[in-house]
A and B are shown apart, each in its own frame.
Chain A
């Protein structure tokens, strides 16, 4: 069932997405266990934990890529049918995901990447190429702020640096008025200057009134921008921490202690 994507403030609901008792099984293996998590309207939630803790699985369930084995999902306070939840529906509900290396198609030009999956089409499915390119060009200059540097709407993604790619993907999500942007390890394998860019984008998400779920391995990065840290271990949420309460060093110690 499609919900209209009004601004979060109008609804007066506390959480934009809420998972209630969500479980996820892969055959006999339990990937998610008793997940109860709400994401606030205008907060940055950092999702941390060791490899295999279930971070990717959690956001895949939250954004419609995977269907939960059990549990309920609420978007803006209204329950949605978990069995039919899909990426397309998530997009309609203004939930977007930005993957580190899977958000953009390498060989395709930027203007196609902007509109992939939601092209501006006529009745027969033919794309209004001129319009898409015009909007893409505008997006490129204004919201993402690439000026000069030889990047045009026809450039292919392979010509961009890692940080620039994240910028494009995040800019795309913001352009389509996503209220919740989920970032899956956005700074992995990026150079230091690129990381700065990405963290600035993340802050911009909050500044524009949106929410963000942010998976990260690098505790220093996520500590810097998150309002709240959720710790996952073996498929379950084991702690919620405020970054103000712990320093990066203390956080590291805590996570190591978790393993024993």
Chain B
């Protein structure tokens, strides 16, 4: 029963399905575009463009794990990005700008939490509304203008948050291209993994996602935990906003819109259940890698942009079917069994007919005996 053993192992390694898909895709791109994927530069590039997506997706992992959704984070990318950029550039405030940027994100998240937990608006509606509100605020306050942060790389904020590593020998020149934000993001991801899987808060989040009623019954303060949850999301989104703004050395008037669906897709193909109660950070991180890698890989291979969506959709479908097999093998077995029983019926029909024919050939007495 190799299949059963395989299934048991698959359950034990967190995020295994998505890791496999990632490796397959990576191998594919290494084969079709070796000049790009067998050199270090594309990877150091990913390390400077993916961290914001990863932070957003990790926050969403908690939110979706709790059975909720947050649609307002693109607006935080705009709003917190603006707060940070304007204080950084206009007023030259460095670390205070960073603190203000983070604070603005926490504020938006906290407000979301209040609307959802205390007022009782479903998270889909509440965060959809606040998305428009805060994005609008960003546009109103910024006048729709973009802010260039020329010379930002001189500041300590830039160096600390997205600076490049240094000190590697000539042979490892790519090391000096690695952006520190990748390291911060890895540390945050590791820490939040522990929070989700080994901390009381993480367990509360999963129970709330499993069933609000059960969570209340076992004594979890559902309202308070939800407020904390959305505040966390707001904080992570603000951090993502600052990394993005610093890396581009530019605040763009409407930055962040493109992240909405990619972040949610990364979480779902990573294996976190949309129904809540089951969440994986490892899966989410690899989901981000895949989503971030597909477009660059397809372009390097020479396929036109039209294929990108199709392939992303295919990856999505393959992952979801895989999860079905891993999480609910009985559904797959039932489906296969239906096919088997059909074959059985057909075979037994044929056997019956063959027997009758045999009776004819052998002779009457045989058939008479059977009738009795």
Q: How far is the CB of A106 from chain B (nearest CB, A)?
A: 6
Are B220 and A117 in contact, with the CB atoms below 8 A? yes
B219 to chain A: closest residue by CB: A117
CA distance A86 to B211 in the complex (A): 19
Are A121 and B277 in contact, with the CB atoms below 8 A? no
B276 to chain A: closest residue by CB: A107
**What is the 8 Å Cβ interface bit string for chain A, positions 95-125, against chain B (1 contact, 0 not)?**
0010100111111100010001111010011
**From B198, B199, B220, B278, contact of A107 by CB (8 A):** B278
Which residues of chain B in 191-208 are interfacial with respect to chain A, using CB atoms and an 8 Å cutoff?
194, 198-201, 203, 206-207
Are B199 and A127 in contact, with the CB atoms below 8 A? yes
Are B210 and A125 in contact, with the CB atoms below 8 A? no
What residues of chain B lie closer than 8 Å to A108, measured between beta carbons? 206-207, 210, 277
Residue A88, interface by CB 8 Å? yes
What residues of chain A lie closer than 8 Å to B219, measured between beta carbons? 86-88, 91, 116-118
Q: How far is the CB of B10 from chain A (nearest CB, A)?
A: 15
Are A97 and B217 in contact, with the CB atoms below 8 A? yes
Q: How far is the CB of A24 from chain B (nearest CB, A)?
A: 18
Chain B residues touching A, majority SS:
helix
Residue A53, interface by CB 8 Å? no
Q: How far is the CB of B283 from chain A (nearest CB, A)?
A: 15
Residue B343, interface by CB 8 Å? no
Are A102 and B213 in contact, with the CB atoms below 8 A? yes
Chain A residues touching B, majority SS:
loop
- Specify which of B203, B211, B217 lies most central, judged by the most chain A CB atoms within 10 Å of its CB: B217
Q: How far is the CB of B54 from chain A (nearest CB, A)?
A: 23
What residues of chain B lie closer than 8 Å to A88, measured between beta carbons? 219
Residue B338, interface by CB 8 Å? no
Residue B216, interface by CB 8 Å? yes
Q: How far is the CB of A148 from chain B (nearest CB, A)?
A: 18
Are A127 and B217 in contact, with the CB atoms below 8 A? no
Please name 18 pairs of A and B residues whose Cβ atoms are closer than 8 Å in the assembled complex, sorted by A.
A97-B217, A99-B217, A102-B213, A104-B214, A105-B210, A105-B211, A105-B214, A105-B277, A106-B277, A107-B278, A108-B207, A116-B219, A118-B219, A121-B200, A124-B199, A126-B194, A126-B198, A127-B199
User: Nearest 5 pairs between A and B by C-beta?
Assistant: A117-B219, A105-B210, A117-B218, A107-B277, A116-B218
Known pairs A105-B207, A106-B211. 5 more at Cβ < 8 A? A65-B216, A102-B211, A102-B214, A116-B218, A127-B203
